[in-house]
Amino acid sequence: MREDLFLKDFLDRGSLMQIQFERLRETLERVYTRVPFYRRSFDAAGVKPGDLTCLEDLAKFPFTMKDDLRDHYPFGLFATELSDVVRIHASSGTTGKPTVVGYTQEDVRIWSEVMARTFQCIGIGPGDVVQNAYGYGLFTGGLGAHYGLERLGCTVIPMSGGNTEKQLLVMRDFGVTAICCTPSYFLHLAEQAAAAGTPISQTKVKYGVFGAEPWSDEMRLRIEALTGISAFDIYGLSEVIGPGVASECPAKAGLHVFEDHFYPEIIDPETGEVLPEGTEGELVFTMITKQALPLIRYRTRDISSLTSAKCACGRTVARMARVSHRSDDMLIVRGINLYPSQIESLLLEAEGTEPHYLIVLTRTGALDDLEIRVEVNAGVFSDEIRGLEALRATLRERVKSLYGLSARITLVEPGSIERSMGKAKRVLDLRDKG
Ligand code: DLL
């Protein structure tokens, strides 16, 4: 029989919304009395916690931005005493100080619960041997997945990231059935395993639990074809809790949001207006059970959409579309907007390419130059010049027809683009320095 914990994903929407409303009202009261920043921001917006009479009223409340966390670095937005905080994590931004988050004992319990629900949603359970190759440390991936796996009763191997040879040894010798890491690191593991003559398809690994970075459907197909595993997308961010915000199920038709803890909205990133279901926009979360750091209407910058239609798996919680990009990872090249994820799909649709690429932006005078470096498989690479030239021309044309931009396509040897143990780096923007 399914444990009570998991029944939470199958509640009727009316009961779920009642739970959300009660938790939300309590949270608004709590932050208003305990966090000076929220008292000021609610007062400035002319709203009081009591103004929430239905879930939609949340739209009257102000947003929280990443800068608000930075401005109150490190613990200024905590709603509990530091002595009640049992864990600190942080995510390193691209610039400056890290974003610091904290958890009470109860927050850690909830985090373990939502991560257990994540794995259960995928089909992982007791009896599975899970290699956890998300980084342990300030990054939330390692410990978040670890606690969820133990809560569920799986056998967890706390590998952390890196040390590829040992990862492959453990995978084989310990009979690993599921692995957790970034999709880009898994690709690296798969390539190294194949090169060593012991491909992952010959191990017991069935499930890949991948997240922490954007990855396309084409990337999923490549991973599955290469290794024979089933690849699942999981989503989360430190500010909300870490991993455990949303997860795919075997239907792979969007990610189930654990809505009894995280209330999602989609807004227009320009106007801040709440958008109707099914419309693409920026994801915003309000944490309705967090104790140490409950953020109200936190703007993630991640672009997605929501549906509350029941899933084929029977779950009734809302689903978010896979996050293919962030509102702030858009590249503007000669005035044209492009996203690394679109380039990834375009490259991987072509035959002969490998799922490793780097977008390099430079500037000559006033003009931006776009170079796309992509690895090609060994067959193509050793092919006659004519074959390479034809692939280069195909890719150049595809970029041209999609964006109207001329890109320099550089086909490089397999294995020559730097691999990452965690989040992959896809863009090298040298324009400001040049
Ligand atoms: O990456 C938490 C996590 C760990 C999620 C392990 C999944 C697995 P941060 O380091 O704070 O937290 O980065 C959060 O990563 O706002 C997204 O932009 C991106 N991201 C996370 N998961 C996905 C995903 C962790 N499945 C930021 N698809 C988020 C696309 C993702 N982007």
Regarding the beta carbon of 148 and ligand 1, being less than 6 Å apart is answered: no
- Ligand 1 atom closest to residue 324's alpha carbon, by position in its atom list: 30
Task: In the chain, list all ranges with CATH 3.30.300.30.
Answer: 331-429
Q: How far is CA 343 from the centre of its chain?
A: 18
| Every domain range in the chain assigned CATH 3.40.50.12780 | 1-328
| Furthest-apart CA atoms within the chain: distance in Å | 72
Ligand 1, atom 22: closest residue by C-alpha: 212
pTM for the predicted model, two decimal places: 0.94
Mean pLDDT of the chain: 95
Phi-psi region of 386 (alpha: psi -120 to 50; beta: other; left: phi over 0): alpha
pLDDT at 95 over 80: no
Q: 231 in ligand 1 pocket by Cβ < 6 Å?
A: no
Report d(CA 417, CA 153) in Å as an integer. Answer: 38
Q: Which residues contact 318 (CB under 8 A, 6 or more apart)?
A: 256, 257, 259, 264, 306, 307, 308
331-429 has which fold?
A: GMP Synthetase; Chain A, domain 3 (3.30.300)
Q: Decide whether any atom of ligand 1 lies within 6 Å of the 232 Cβ.
A: no
339-379 pLDDT, tens per residue? Answer: 999 999 999 999 999 999 999 999 988 889 999 999 999 88
How open is the CA angle 265-21-61, to the nearest 5 degrees? 50
Rounded (to 5) percent helix, strand, coil in the chain: 35, 25, 40
Distance (angstroms) between ligand 1 centre and the Cα of 302 equals 9
- pLDDT, tens digit, 9 for 90 and up, residues 270-280: 999 999 999 99
Rounded to the nearest angstrom, the gap between the alpha carbon of residue 216 and the centroid of all alpha carbons in its chain is 12
pLDDT at 1 over 60: no
Which amino acid is residue 47, in one-letter code?
Answer: V
Instruction: From residue 402, give the alpha-carbon distance in Å to each of 325, 333, 345, 394, 395.
Output: 17, 13, 12, 12, 11
**Is the CB of residue 282 below 6 angstroms from any atom belonging to ligand 1?**
no
CATH of 1-328, one of 3.90.1150.10, 2.40.170.20, 3.40.50.12780, 3.30.230.10: 3.40.50.12780
Q: How far is the CA of 124 from the centre of ligand 1 (A)?
A: 21
d(CA 334, CA 427): 16
Mind listing the pLDDT tens digit for each residue in 292-322?
999 999 999 999 999 999 999 999 999 999 9
Is 421 near ligand 1, meaning CB less than 6 Å away? no
Give the C-alpha separation, 364 to 360, whole Å.
13
pLDDT for 383 beyond 80: no
Q: Calculate how far, in angstroms, residue 36's C-alpha sits from the geometric centre of ligand 1.
A: 29
User: For 212-229, what is the mean pLDDT?
Assistant: 95
What atom of ligand 1 comes closest to residue 255's alpha carbon? Answer: 26
* Ligand 1 centroid, distance to 1 Cα (angstroms): 32
Handedness of CA 295, 296, 300, 303 (dihedral sign): positive
Distance (Å, whole) CA 368 – CA 363: 4
Instruction: Please say if the pLDDT value at position 434 is more than 50.
Output: no
Could you identify the atom of ligand 1 that is nearest to the CA of residue 214? 30
266-288 b/e with 16+ CB inside 10 Å = b?
bbebeeeebbeeeeebbbbbbbb
100: helix, strand or coil: strand
Identify whether the C-beta of residue 372 lies closer than 8 Å to the C-beta of residue 343: yes
